[in-house]
Amino acid sequence: MLKRIIVIASFALLSHGAQAGLNILACEPEWASLTQELAGDLVRVTSATTARQDPHHIEARPSLIARARNADLLVCTGADLEIGWLPLLQRESGNARIQPGRAGFFEAAAFVRLLEQSGRADRAQGDVHAGGNPHLQADPRNLLKVGGALAQRLAQLDPANAAVYAARNQDFQKRMSAAIARWEKEAAGLRGVPVVVHHKSWSYLADWLGLKVVADLEPKVGIEPSVSSLSALLERLKTQPARMILRTAYQSPKPSEWLAERAGIAALELPYSVGGSPAAKDLFGVFDETVAKLKGGLK
């Protein structure tokens, strides 16, 4: 009996070892999806958060610490987005591979040009991202850059499969570039369209498609809108009209719908990340739906 248990146990361990590629923990679903594009079945990748969770405000739950303990690579946004929880995961994990400065810690923000770098962090201005806006995945051109850097990092950590990562990256770059060209064509009519945003989640999207952000629902960055701040905004929209209000899947629909109803404009919930809507099954789905919804908002 004991022998049998040992055989089964060692078999379980071995088979586990045989199929064990890199174990990757992505901070947000977009990076899990990007890793999947670049590595396919070679790695095991999970996301610490879902698109319905606000990545600024996550608790360093025991389950996340346990997952960080076993990760070979963390793929995160950086630029302070995860400042409230990621440092705790790293510190509590007892995992040297994923510490800052190690190859096992990948921050997307290091590989793209960040918008809104004020360098100032005066909290009187709200909960600002002083190092630059971290919501960079809303511009698919950034995915090309991050994808390239991530493919390199995967190859560095798993040299045996370097050729596979390079090939898959090339394929991803090709497909994504073609898709970007298509989205840009479809969204040509959105250039210069005035919009209201809920948090600075859409700066990169606006930058990419040429949307004109005329107002933010948040009276100050990271401060939730109140009835009085919304009323003031409604007043302002009379002289400076907007066509639609944009929010993510994790934000409360109440403020944007309150304002949309009174201002007579559309309130759109865009997927923001993979899983943010039923159709947003991968990165391509996210932008297919984003562009379609934005165009729908014009009508």
Partner 1 sequence: MFKRHLLAAALACALPTSALAVTDADLAALRAEFDRKLKDIQAAYEDRLKEMETRLVKQSGESPETAQAVPRPGNTGAAVASANPELSLILQGVYAQRKAGERRPTGFLQDAGIGAPARGFSLGDSELILAASIDPSFRGQATVVLADDAVVVEEAWFQTSSLDHGLTLKGGRFISGIGYQNEQHPHAWDFTDNNLMYQTLFGEHLVQDGLQLKWLAPTDTFVELGVEIGRGGAFPGASADKNGAGSWAAFGHVGGDVGESNAWRAGLSYLGARPRDRESPLIDISGIDTNNLFSGKAKIWIADLVWKWAPEGNPRARNFKFQAEYFQRDEDGDLACDDADPLVPSLCTGGSTDAYRGKQSGWYAQGIYQFMPHWRVGLRYDRLNNDSLDYGVNNANLARTGYHPNKWSLMADYSPSEYSRFRLQLARDHAMQGNPDDSQIGLQYIYSLGAHGAHKF
**Scanning residues 162 to 191, which ones bind partner 1 (CB under 8 A)?**
none
- Of 40, 42, 44, 84, the residue at the interface with partner 1 (CB under 8 A) is 84
**Scanning residues 194 to 233, which ones bind partner 1 (CB under 8 A)?**
207, 210, 212, 223-224
- Of 112, 195, 274, 280, the residue at the interface with partner 1 (CB under 8 A) is 112
- Of 40, 42, 53, 186, the residue at the interface with partner 1 (CB under 8 A) is 53
Please, are residues 119 and 186 in contact by the beta-carbon 8 Å criterion? Answer: no
Q: Build a one-symbol-per-residue string for 10-49: x at contacts with partner 1 by CB under 8 A, - elsewhere.
A: ---------------------------------------x
Q: Examine residue 57 and tell whether it contacts partner 1 (CB under 8 A).
A: yes
Residue 70: CB atoms within 10 Å = 12
Q: Examine residue 117 and tell whether it contacts partner 1 (CB under 8 A).
A: yes
Please, are residues 45 and 28 in contact by the beta-carbon 8 Å criterion? Answer: no
Q: Examine residue 72 and tell whether it contacts partner 1 (CB under 8 A).
A: no
Distance, in Å, from the CA atom of 146 to the CA atom of 14, rounded to the nearest integer, reads 34
Q: Examine residue 91 and tell whether it contacts partner 1 (CB under 8 A).
A: yes
Nearest to 286 by CA among 108, 91, 37, 117: 37
Please, are residues 251 and 158 in contact by the beta-carbon 8 Å criterion? Answer: no
Distance, in Å, from the CA atom of 111 to the CA atom of 89, rounded to the nearest integer, reads 23
What is the crossing angle of helices 283-298 and 162-186, to 10°?
10
Q: Examine residue 94 and tell whether it contacts partner 1 (CB under 8 A).
A: yes
DSSP characters for 166-200?
A: HHHHHHHHHHHHHHHHHHHHHTGGGTT-EEEESSG
Nearest-approach distance from CB 113 to partner 1, in angstroms: 7
> What is the contact surface with partner 1 in residues (CB under 8 A)?
49-50, 52-54, 57-63, 65-67, 69-70, 78-80, 83-85, 87-88, 90-97, 99-103, 107, 109-114, 117, 119, 121, 123, 127, 129-132, 134, 141, 148-149, 152-153, 155-156, 192, 207, 210, 212, 223-224, 250, 252
